[in-house]
Amino acid sequence: MAGGAFVDSGPAGKEYPGKLTLYVFFTCVVAATGGLIFGYDIGISGGVTSMDSFLQKFFPSVYEKEQRNKDSNQYCKFDSQLLTTFTSSLYLAALIASFFAATVTRVFGRKWSMFGGGITFLIGAALNGAAKNVLMLILGRILLGIGVGFANQSVPVYLSEMAPARLRGMLNIGFQLMITIGILCANLINYGTSKITGGWGWRVSLALAAVPAAIITVGSLFLPDTPNSLIDRGHDEAARKMLHRIRGTDDIDEEYNDLVAASMESKLVEHPWANILRPKYRAQLTMAILIPFFQQLTGINVIMFYAPVLFKTIGFGNDASLMSSVITGLVNVFATLVSIFTVDKFGRRKLFLQGGSQMLICQIIVGTLIAIKLGTSGEGSFGKTYAGFLVFFICLYVAGFAWSWGPLGWLVPSEIFPLEIRSAGQSINVSVNMLFTFIIAQAFLTMLCHMKFGLFYFFGGWVFIMTTFIAFFLPETKNVPIEEMILVWRNHWFWGRFISDEDIHIGKNVEMGKGKPKAEA
């Protein structure tokens, strides 16, 4: 392998004038709240499915099994396909919705895609809160899923287009921060509602999803569309004004012209879906598939969805289980802040490599700690100190994810596609993410039952593979203007071979890698 393979390809590009205006900051904060609905949902299902009243009403067979199995094999007591369908149906809906969302996002703008997502989620929350049977429950989940599909399609792209290149990482990660806040709120709400004795606590948990939905629905109405999308839809003057406003300077000609050039090029493309298969987009297509795939194969959602179930499995009581998931939720939020403040300084690669190594080590330790106590029979329990250690390493693992694959899994795909394939590329990203979220959600309880502690080694193996992949195949993208990203791929030791000089039309005033010096090399 070429020695240079490990070296960043070195961002090629230039820096446009302009500062971080208050206006752009606030629009990004509002747009990022789209992450709340996704996060709330991730966090709420695990807690709800561990509530006895919920199980008794909708999944009595699981409830009985849980009661009967009190002191037998810990690994298998929650294994039920029906129960996992409740959790995972949402992700299938989101997967399908993201393809429709691609067209809405491209044709009507990013803003309406967010609005549509918020409204659908709102209806889903109402249906779920009022659910009388499994059908209503699953129907509600499907509507929530459609909402998530639309929001996850439009929000990351919106943020990356609005942000000045040198702060793009920070502003984009606002989305992931909102996801983690959503998860934490859901964990806290579950903790509170599980104490409601009337057996309707789960209703409150599910219905409160309406709050984040209302935030993004109303918020999106106040959002302007991005200059990129405005130009692409023929509103050149509005785009120029918007660029002026968000960059806070008159000196916007260079960026504006590059956006127009990017849009003109995108107009030559009739079928973004067929186009994305062309060799010159091989790198982007590969990343659009592998990054979300790898993100899910870190195994993070085992913790996010099933933390309470998992903690119960390894012998924690009801209260301790829900409390421990509040702790992992807190770690998730605070560790995300680390990436916000470092991603544009150290770059994406360093975070990926550091976070990946940390996760791998923790997974090996967690698997081994469980193996020692529960072995393969699944019988046994943990003492207080031992359980404390276990939670500590799970937290360290969550922290590693929260400053690497969590935020970067949304940031990197949103910043690497040229305009002509951006919506299509993002919907591949969203749908692969949802597909594997679905698969993991659906398979986890069965996998735990069969693979036992080995499950942690299994995900650890994947983390090793993905970290190696990043080391060799992902060039650094920090500080590179989004419409010039093609230069980064052109300069990469591997992906460069798929792109010829004729493929590069953007930023004609910038020769390969010889633009104005960047703020920071």
The single-letter code of the amino acid at 510 is V
Is 283 in contact with 485 (CB distance < 8 Å)? no
Among the listed residues 327, 321, 289, the one whose alpha carbon sits nearest the alpha carbon of residue 308: 321
Q: Which of 12, 24, 31, 42 binds ligand BGC (CB under 6 A)?
A: 42
CB of 293 or CB of 473, closer to ligand BGC = 293
Consecutive H or E run containing 345: none
CB of 194 or CB of 437, closer to ligand BGC = 437
CB of 252 or CB of 445, closer to ligand BGC = 445
| Alpha helices (H) in 14-59, listed in sequence order | 22-32, 34-48, 52-58
Return the exposure string of 367-389: e unless at least 16 CB atoms fall within 10 Å of the residue's CB, then b.
bebbeebbeeebeeebeeeebee
Number of residues near ligand BGC (by CB under 6 A) = 15
- Nearest distance, CB of residue 295 and ligand BGC, angstroms: 6
Q: Give me the DSSP letters along 111-134.
A: HHHHHHHHHHHHHHHHHHHT--SH
Long-range contacts made by residues 268-274, C-beta under 8 angstroms, separation at least 24?
Answer: 268/420, 269/420, 269/421, 272/106, 272/420, 272/421, 272/423, 272/424, 273/424
- Nearest distance, CB of residue 318 and ligand BGC, angstroms: 23
CB of 409 or CB of 481, closer to ligand BGC = 409
**Could you say whether residue 340 binds ligand BGC (CB under 6 A)?**
no
CB of 260 or CB of 327, closer to ligand BGC = 327
What is the rounded end-to-end Cα distance, in angstroms, of the chain? 25
By the 10 Å C-beta count (0-12 exposed, 13-18 middle, 19+ buried), 519 is classed as exposed
Consecutive H or E run containing 137: helix 134-162
Q: Which of 145, 356, 378, 406 binds ligand BGC (CB under 6 A)?
A: 406
CB of 146 or CB of 304, closer to ligand BGC = 304
Binding part of the chain for ligand BGC, among 20-28, 81-89, 299-307, 362-370 by CB under 6 A, reads 299-307
Q: Give me the DSSP letters along 92-103.
A: HHHHHHHHHHHH
**Could you say whether residue 120 binds ligand BGC (CB under 6 A)?**
no
- Nearest distance, CB of residue 43 and ligand BGC, angstroms: 8
What's the rounded Cα separation, in Å, for the pair 94 and 477? 28
Q: Which of 113, 193, 205, 301 binds ligand BGC (CB under 6 A)?
A: 301
Coil, strand or helix: which one is 446? helix
Q: Which of 50, 321, 427, 437 binds ligand BGC (CB under 6 A)?
A: 437
Q: Which of 118, 149, 367, 409 binds ligand BGC (CB under 6 A)?
A: 409
**Could you say whether residue 176 binds ligand BGC (CB under 6 A)?**
yes
**Could you say whether residue 89 binds ligand BGC (CB under 6 A)?**
no
Q: Which of 9, 89, 229, 332 binds ligand BGC (CB under 6 A)?
A: 332
Residues that bind ligand BGC (CB under 6 A): 42, 176, 179-180, 183, 295, 300-301, 304, 332, 406, 409-410, 433, 437
